[in-house]
């Protein structure tokens, strides 16, 4: 049975395009694997805590040296990390905010990336001491953008700072291969014209198709 972690980062609820995209993807997956388990993590409704000095002090100590207060400071992080560990496919639904990540998504990333938990650090590896302790997972990014033309050679090429960030986190810190990262985007939202409607409808179809296709491959 496949385990999917559904992370919804949009601050919008009923009118969120990315929430609709994650729903379509999950429906597509379950059309091929009805028994798949979905772990819902709605960080748009309930944003994770930001990292504090107490969190850092606790996180960089060996577990056996942590006080009760330190363990409490890391409790939320451990809950989120354990969800990631259980997961085969991480499905992130997130709009592009100000050409980057929503604050809630960045907070979630900072909570799940921890030395000794999701990556190891060893200076014996030279200039690349960080190595993920996870493997075998896939990442699906379902996003909406108010503008358009973010593709290579497009009029806003290089303005999308969310996708490169997520790819770096995935490949460097979560042990996800580049070939196991998938992205679908709905664009033109701020223009609210026929281009937006076409882009949104195509993204919905693509999300459902991708879910079904990946589920069939996972069998």
Residue 154 Cα to chain centre, angstroms: 25
Q: Are the C-beta atoms of residues 121 and 129 closer than 8 Å to each other?
A: yes
124: its two tokens: 């014996």
For 138-172, the pLDDT digits (tens) are: 999 999 999 999 999 999 999 999 999 999 999 99
Tell me what pLDDT residue 14 has. 87
Q: What percent of the chain has pLDDT over 70?
A: 100
Strands 3-8 and 130-132: unpaired
Q: What whole-number distance in Å separates Cα of residue 217 and Cα of residue 110?
A: 31
Domain tally, the chain? 1
49-69 b/e with 16+ CB inside 10 Å = b?
eebeeebeebbeeeeeebeee
CA distance 102 to 34: 31
The structure's pTM equals 0.96
CATH number at 133 reads: 3.40.50.360
- Inter-residue contact 112 to 84 (CB < 8 Å): yes
Residue ranges of the chain with per-residue pLDDT less than 50: none
- Domain extent, residue 197, equals 3-218
């Amino acid at each position: 049975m496949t385990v999917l972690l559904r992370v919804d980062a949009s601050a919008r609820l009923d009118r969120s395009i990315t929430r609709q995209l994650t729903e379509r993807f999950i429906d597509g997956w379950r059309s091929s694997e009805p028994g798949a388990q979905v772990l819902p993590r709605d960080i748009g409704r309930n944003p994770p805590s930001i990292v504090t000095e107490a969190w850092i002090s606790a996180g960089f100590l060996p577990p056996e040296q942590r006080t009760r207060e330190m363990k409490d400071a890391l409790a939320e992080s451990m809950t989120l990390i354990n969800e990631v560990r259980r997961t085969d496919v991480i499905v992130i639904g997130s709009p592009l905010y100000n050409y980057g990540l929503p604050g809630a998504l960045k907070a979630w990333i900072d909570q799940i990336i921890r030395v000794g938990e999701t990556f190891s650090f060893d200076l014996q590896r030279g200039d690349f001491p960080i190595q993920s302790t996870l493997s075998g997972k896939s990442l699906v990014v379902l996003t909406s953008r108010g503008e358009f033309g973010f593709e290579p050679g497009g009029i806003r090429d290089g303005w999308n700072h969310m996708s490169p960030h997520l790819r770096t986190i995935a490949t460097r810190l979560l042990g996800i291969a580049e070939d196991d990262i998938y992205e679908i985007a709905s664009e033109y939202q701020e223009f609210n014209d026929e281009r937006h409607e076409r882009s949104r409808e195509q993204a919905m179809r693509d999300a459902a198709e991708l879910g079904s296709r990946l589920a069939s491959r996972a069998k």
